Chains A and B, each alone.
Chain A
């Protein structure tokens, strides 16, 4: 991120400019550091610590129980089934999200200046709240008047019970999640494509490669880092997604879209199992970190040397 050698940069600055006291640096960064520490760092440490206690507002004592809460979580069948649904959800979001963002980014990268506004349009979902997006998808996939069903019926197929059938509800939730999170993934990949030297792809075309082949064999390997970044982003958002699913299906129908995050809210806010909920928070953290590390590992293994 830093350009040039920071130590000589800073040295030349202090030589010329007036404020040389070291405290000015601490003083100007302190407010930001304190707010970040309280809002972001403290909760993580606090959750990790609290997850080791048997917490419940109904009892006076809160004994230390070590990994007892984790054992409770792991012995619950609901944990494993919501973990399974989260796995399906995350996998679906990554597959759909990467496919769309790669196709769209290639198209946007070759767009002529008159159509530049399309890039602006593509980022629009970024400014829509998860609740508003969920509502839009609930309207769009309504069983009776939704457009997908209108089109299906026009083509002579039967209507699909999008939101009242568990499997289809999961598909709709995946679509809504990808819709909200695609803009950044798309921007990452587009940014990668724009760094590719045009001569490379042009040379391939001269040598007789088709546009598609040059895209697959030349461009894609070159943007492996940006594809990894997009994967990390999509996966992070999917693992920690709560608002979209809560507002779209509320975990239903039945418990077919009850993800780990919704399970956490149910345990903590509905059943007042604070300690167990904290353990689940930490499990979600670890799951997320493990996935991120494995994407980076995959890129190191199969990416460009």
Chain B
């Protein structure tokens, strides 16, 4: 009896992908004339048309810059904070940790207007740098939470042994802690990149021109621009934005699943 829910799970998850894939290999007119899952005359035409679009190229570049920027700053800022919360003793640290975790509950839709007004006030409207800043803030609570848990799980004796051997604290962190923390760092890096890569609502609120627009917004605009007719190009676009993440994800699925789980079970 186990196969039935498992088959349903695979169908539920993969169905939309497979249909999208199928449509993306058809000519626009053939979508209606040949509705079967396997195209009669498969073609890469839609993909070529997406790749040739200036809008796609620009948005792809923006997504890459903003994705890696957010990833880098999240780690740069999140790791020291998490290490401090996990290891250092300073007045009010519990309160500060709570303060950095609590905003996780703030829904994105509620941030759209205030951040839009803030960006206008700062002259940062429609800038990639501001988007990186915002996405970093969006992911920091989760990043700090995951990293604090991870640093606390590393036995203190390791650091004490290194200290006894005469290593400075900085050398201990660099040579003892960081190598051990790599799975957690990868998890946080992927989550930060995903946040920036997939975010739509805040890009909608904070950008105006193609100079800072990322892929989801560009896809959204293209849906409007192409009307009902061109399903292949839209699906090809969607799949092209998903593929890079899937490739990364397949290599590290275990870390991500377990990293997210560890937060839920504790």
**Which residues of A are interface residues toward B (Cβ below 8 A)?**
1-3, 6-7, 9-14, 16-19, 22-26, 28-29, 31-33, 35-36, 38-44, 46-47, 50, 100, 103-104, 106-108, 110-111, 115, 118-125, 127-133, 135-137, 139-140, 142, 144-145, 147, 150, 179, 182, 184, 187-188, 190-192, 194-195, 211, 226, 229, 236, 239-240, 242-243, 246-247, 261, 264-265, 268-269, 274, 277-278, 281-282, 284-285, 288-289
Q: With both chains docked as a complex, state the minimum distance between the C-beta of A41 and any C-beta of chain B, in angstroms.
A: 5
* B114 at the A interface (CB under 8 A): yes
Q: With both chains docked as a complex, state the minimum distance between the C-beta of B27 and any C-beta of chain A, in angstroms.
A: 13
Among A13, A132, A190, A242, the residue within 8 A (CB) of B219 is A132
Contacts of B103 in A (CB 8 A): 36, 40-41, 44
Q: Is A43 in contact with B115, judged by CB distance below 8 angstroms?
A: yes
Contacts of B164 in A (CB 8 A): 16
Contacts of A24 in B (CB 8 A): 84, 88, 90
Of A121, A135, A282, most buried by chain B (CB within 10 Å of CB) is: A135
Among B78, B220, B242, the residue within 8 A (CB) of A32 is B78
Q: With both chains docked as a complex, state the minimum distance between the C-beta of B28 and any C-beta of chain A, in angstroms.
A: 12
Q: Is A25 in contact with B107, judged by CB distance below 8 angstroms?
A: no
Contacts of A18 in B (CB 8 A): 163, 168-169
Contacts of A33 in B (CB 8 A): 81, 96, 99-100
Q: Is B137 in contact with A135, judged by CB distance below 8 angstroms?
A: no
Q: Of the 9-residue stretches B38-46, B47-55, B179-187, B252-260, which lies at the interface with chain A?
A: B252-260
Contacts of A195 in B (CB 8 A): 265
Q: Quick one: closest A residue to B149, CB to CB? A: A1
Q: Is B235 in contact with A135, judged by CB distance below 8 angstroms?
A: yes
Q: Would you list which residues of chain B between 82 and 133 have a CB under 8 Å from chain A?
A: 83-85, 87-91, 93-94, 96, 99-100, 103-115, 117-118, 133
Q: Is A32 in contact with B148, judged by CB distance below 8 angstroms?
A: no
Q: Is B110 in contact with A36, judged by CB distance below 8 angstroms?
A: no
Interface 1/0 per residue, B21-46 and A, CB below 8 Å: 00100000001100101000000000
Q: Is B216 in contact with A25, judged by CB distance below 8 angstroms?
A: no
Q: Is A1 in contact with B148, judged by CB distance below 8 angstroms?
A: yes
Q: Is B6 in contact with A118, judged by CB distance below 8 angstroms?
A: yes
Known contacts A28-B84, A127-B198; A236 and B100 CB within 8 A of each other: no
Give Cα A247 to B93, complex, Å: 42
Q: Name the 5 nearest CB pairs between A and B, nearest first.
A: A39-B137, A25-B90, A43-B114, A40-B103, A10-B89
Interface 1/0 per residue, B208-222 and A, CB below 8 Å: 000000011101100
Give Cα A118 to B81, complex, Å: 36
Q: Quick one: closest B residue to A136, CB to CB? A: B16
Q: Quick one: closest B residue to A12, CB to CB? A: B156
* B152 at the A interface (CB under 8 A): yes
Among B2, B89, B241, B242, the residue within 8 A (CB) of A107 is B2
* B261 at the A interface (CB under 8 A): yes
Q: Is B32 in contact with A144, judged by CB distance below 8 angstroms?
A: yes
Known contacts A18-B168, A44-B110, A133-B16; A32 and B200 CB within 8 A of each other: no
Q: Is B20 in contact with A136, judged by CB distance below 8 angstroms?
A: yes
Q: Quick one: closest B residue to A2, CB to CB? A: B152
Q: Is A13 in contact with B88, judged by CB distance below 8 angstroms?
A: yes
Known contacts A127-B198, A127-B245; A122 and B89 CB within 8 A of each other: no
Q: Is A247 in contact with B109, judged by CB distance below 8 angstroms?
A: no
Q: How many interface residues does chain B have, given as a range?
A: 35 or more
Give Cα A190 to B37, complex, Å: 32
Among B6, B14, B110, B264, the residue within 8 A (CB) of A191 is B264
Contacts of A110 in B (CB 8 A): 2
Q: Is A192 in contact with B265, judged by CB distance below 8 angstroms?
A: yes
Known: A40-B104, A246-B220; 18 extra A-B contacts, CB below 8 A, are A10-B87, A14-B89, A16-B164, A29-B93, A40-B138, A43-B111, A118-B9, A124-B246, A124-B249, A127-B245, A131-B217, A135-B223, A139-B231, A184-B260, A194-B265, A226-B264, A240-B108, A285-B107
Q: Is A136 in contact with B19, judged by CB distance below 8 angstroms?
A: yes
Of A115, A128, A144, A289, most buried by chain B (CB within 10 Å of CB) is: A128
Of A29, A111, A191, most buried by chain B (CB within 10 Å of CB) is: A29
Q: Is A32 in contact with B246, judged by CB distance below 8 angstroms?
A: no
Q: Is A36 in contact with B141, judged by CB distance below 8 angstroms?
A: yes
Q: Is A243 in contact with B2, judged by CB distance below 8 angstroms?
A: no
Give Cα A139 to B26, complex, Å: 13
Q: Is B107 in contact with A288, judged by CB distance below 8 angstroms?
A: yes
Contacts of A242 in B (CB 8 A): 108-109, 201
Contacts of A25 in B (CB 8 A): 84, 88-90, 93
Give Cα A210 to B241, complex, Å: 46
Among B8, B89, B137, B217, the residue within 8 A (CB) of A40 is B137
Q: With both chains docked as a complex, state the minimum distance between the C-beta of B119 and any C-beta of chain A, in angstroms.
A: 11
Give Cα A135 to B77, complex, Å: 35
Q: Is A281 in contact with B88, judged by CB distance below 8 angstroms?
A: no
* B62 at the A interface (CB under 8 A): no
Contacts of A14 in B (CB 8 A): 88-89
Give Cα A159 to B139, complex, Å: 43
Q: Quick one: closest A residue to B238, CB to CB? A: A132
Q: With both chains docked as a complex, state the minimum distance between the C-beta of A164 and any C-beta of chain B, in angstroms.
A: 11
What are 10 A-B interface contacts by the 8 Å CB criterion? A28-B84, A29-B93, A33-B81, A46-B118, A110-B2, A111-B2, A124-B246, A129-B219, A147-B37, A289-B105
